Every structure is written in structure tokens, then in C-alpha cells.
A = this chain, B = another copy of it.
């Protein structure tokens, strides 16, 4: 069969085709920080490693970091993702180049950063991105970072902006117990309860992490039709504590997707791993080998997917063929081909849309700059 504008012939014989993955939460350009300060305590790691490096970010670094992340995504079968990061227009350029799909947002905070003066400036940048949107594979959303980095006024303005442009509103919430306790002390409400109270929950709201929830908050998520993105590897690696109540959310009818978070807290962007580890975490935590089975994880990892990835049926990790979905989730296998929007992006292990070797070289040089 012939595919889209690449004009490449593609023969799927002997291959297992599956919906390409949708990575529900990442900070793509953080490939730049992969492995830096690993094993430090969360706050030390942020204060001593990540924040100082982020001070030195440039648009060029974000572009090159994004390109490296896209190589990994393509090679592991991901065709779309929801991203939150600085200079995200550069990530947009990279995604256009690679031929993938993405929804991107600038992290909005109430205080100034090297990327904007204040909340007003951040919201202005977000609106500029929304105005620039055209129909296509790359879009924007509104991404207030979190409750703890935003005042109420900024959160409400972010919500209004998302509604005005009919786009997603995505934010980190209830990632750690400390965050929940701090919110409760300050506002008298748990984080999701607080968000509901100020009108932040809607059908276009995407709650990232949502690892620490009360039953009452799960009810609020259901009533508002909001969605949740689960990031098991990041939660485990950063020792966020507790275990996300996945089955309680799914049983209540909440749409739950899966995300890797950034490469600096994972440290990969591989949705196959995310499915496996997400499943293992629930089974182990619940003492129930039937929890979070392969099909549940696979559905979460491929929400809304309209693209296709392929693995050879004789890949050593896909053998034998007792259960191909189980093999994909628990054993893996090398993705050889990826078709996005009818266009062949990778064929037989070769990326067709850009020069992979050059992108890696550019990244290597750029990453050296960052640690200078």
C-alpha cells in the first residue's frame, strides 16, 4: 500500500500492527537533563540540578532536545503527546519536522521565570500560541503548572483562556502527599476539591498525576467529565509516595491516559515500559495479579490513537504468539515502522522525515553547552 505524501511503499506482511501510543504527559526537551542529579532527593534534585540547568535554556536547546526526544518516541511507537515546557514553539517546530502530532503548552506560573516576567506575561504567551494555531498535527493547550505555583486569579484566567479557544487545560495536581497537605492547610480543601471550587474542572481539563485522591475528589472528576494522566514511572522514581488509585478511577468511569513525564524523571520516553511498570505497580500494590492487566494498560497508552506502529511478528520479544497484546506490554519488541496521519515516518527502522544522525550530533553539542 502507498502512504500519503512520503510516497513510500510499505509492506506490513509479517508485522504486528497496533495503534501508536499517545504519551499523555511529558516535557520533551528535558532529554537535555536525562540522568543529571539522579538519585537525589526531589527538592535537592530540583534546586541543585534541574532549576539551574533550566536557567540556561535557550530556544535552540529546546529545539535540539525536542528532536532527540522525538527520535526516541518514533523508535518506541509513539505518534502523539501532550507536552508542557518552555520555548514550546521550538518543540512545535521539531514536531512539524518529525511528522508527529502534539498538543503543547507553556507552563504558566504566577511568578516570573527566565521565559516571562509574570503571570500576565505567561498568559499572553499562551494566548499568542493559541492564536497562531492552524488545523493540523500540532496544537496548543493552556498549562498552568500546578496549584502550588499559581495563585487563584492566574488559575481562573488560564481556565478562561482554554475555554475561549476550546482547547485542553492541563495541569499537575496531587502528585505528592505534601502538595495535598499544603493545599488543605492553605485552602481547607484537597487539591481537586479546590480546583472544582474555583471552576477549574471541566470536560477539557486534564489532571496530571492525580496520585493522591480522596473518594470525594474522584466523584468530582467524574461529575465534571475531566480526564487524568497517570505517570507511574515518574511517581515511583521521584518517590512521590502512595500509589495512584487507578482501578477506583477506571471503575468510576474516568478517562485515564498514560504518560512518561520528562526524560529527567523517568528516564525514558518509552510507553511500552510505562505500560509494563504501571501494571506491575498496581498488581504489587494491590496484591492482585489480575489488576491493571495488559489490555487495560494498552487502552490507556493508546487513547484516541489514529496512527499505527509495527513490530515484526518474529521479533524475539514477540515470540511465541500466545497473546500479542501481553507480549507488547510485558515483553516489548522493537518498533520498526510508524505511520502518522497516513504518512510513513519510520520504515524498517529508518526514520524518513529527518536526518537522525545529524539530530543526535546537534543534540550532543547542545547538551555540552548546557553543562558548561
Kindly identify, within residues 297 to 317 of chain A, every residue whose CB is under 8 Å from any CB belonging to chain B.
314, 316-317
| Inter-chain contact B40/A323, CB cutoff 8 Å | no
Chain B residue nearest to A49 in the complex (CB): B322
**Known: A239-B284, A280-B277. Contact between A289 and B326, CB under 8 A?**
no
Shortest C-beta distance, A173 to chain B (Å), equals: 19
What does the 1/0 interface line of A24-58 toward B look like (CB < 8 Å)?
00000001111111111110010000000000000
Kindly identify, within residues 344 to 372 of chain A, every residue whose CB is under 8 Å from any CB belonging to chain B.
357, 360-361, 363-364, 367-368, 370-371
**Known: A316-B71, A363-B319. Contact between A327 and B45, CB under 8 A?**
no
Q: Which residues of B contact A364 (CB under 8 A)?
A: 314, 319-320
**A233 adjacent to chain B (CB < 8 Å):** yes
Q: How far is the CA of A111 from the CA of B220 in the complex (A)?
A: 57
**A interface: dominant SS:** helix
One of B276, B321, B326, B363 near A320 (C-beta < 8 A): B363
Q: Which residues of B contact A361 (CB under 8 A)?
A: 314
Stoichiometry (number of copies)? 2
Shortest C-beta distance, A127 to chain B (Å), equals: 33
Chain B residue nearest to A357 in the complex (CB): B314
**A181 adjacent to chain B (CB < 8 Å):** no
**A286 adjacent to chain B (CB < 8 Å):** yes
| Inter-chain contact B277/A38, CB cutoff 8 Å | no
Q: How far is the CA of A267 from the CA of B150 in the complex (A)?
A: 43
**Known: A45-B289, A288-B239, A327-B267. Contact between A320 and B281, CB under 8 A?**
no
Q: Which of A36, A280, A293 has the most CB of B within 10 A?
A: A280
Q: Which residues of B contact A263 (CB under 8 A)?
A: 331
One of B40, B233, B326 near A267 (C-beta < 8 A): B326
**Known: A267-B326, A277-B280, A284-B239. Contact between A289 and B68, CB under 8 A?**
no
One of B34, B71, B280 near A236 (C-beta < 8 A): B280
Q: Which residues of B contact A323 (CB under 8 A)?
A: 35-36, 38
| Inter-chain contact B330/A283, CB cutoff 8 Å | no
Shortest C-beta distance, A144 to chain B (Å), equals: 25
**A172 adjacent to chain B (CB < 8 Å):** no
One of B281, B317, B320 near A72 (C-beta < 8 A): B317
| Inter-chain contact A367/B289, CB cutoff 8 Å | no
Chain B residue nearest to A332 in the complex (CB): B268
Q: Which residues of B contact A327 (CB under 8 A)?
A: 34-35, 267
| Inter-chain contact B42/A289, CB cutoff 8 Å | yes
Q: Which residues of B contact A32 (CB under 8 A)?
A: 320
Q: Which residues of B contact A75 (CB under 8 A)?
A: 316
What does the 1/0 interface line of A211-252 toward B look like (CB < 8 Å)?
000000000000000000000010111111101000000000
Q: Which of A279, A289, A314, A327 has the most CB of B within 10 A?
A: A289
| Inter-chain contact A236/B267, CB cutoff 8 Å | no
Q: Which residues of B contact A370 (CB under 8 A)?
A: 320
Shortest C-beta distance, A148 to chain B (Å), equals: 18
Q: Which residues of B contact A291 (CB under 8 A)?
A: 239
New A-B contacts (5) at CB < 8 Å, excluding given A38-B293, A266-B330? A34-B319, A38-B323, A236-B283, A236-B284, A240-B284
The 6 tightest CB contacts between A and B, nearest first, are A320-B367, A236-B280, A236-B284, A267-B330, A35-B326, A39-B293
Jot down 13 A-B pairs with beta carbons below 8 A, ordered by A.
Answer: A34-B320, A35-B326, A37-B322, A38-B326, A39-B293, A39-B294, A236-B281, A238-B283, A239-B288, A266-B331, A267-B330, A268-B330, A273-B276
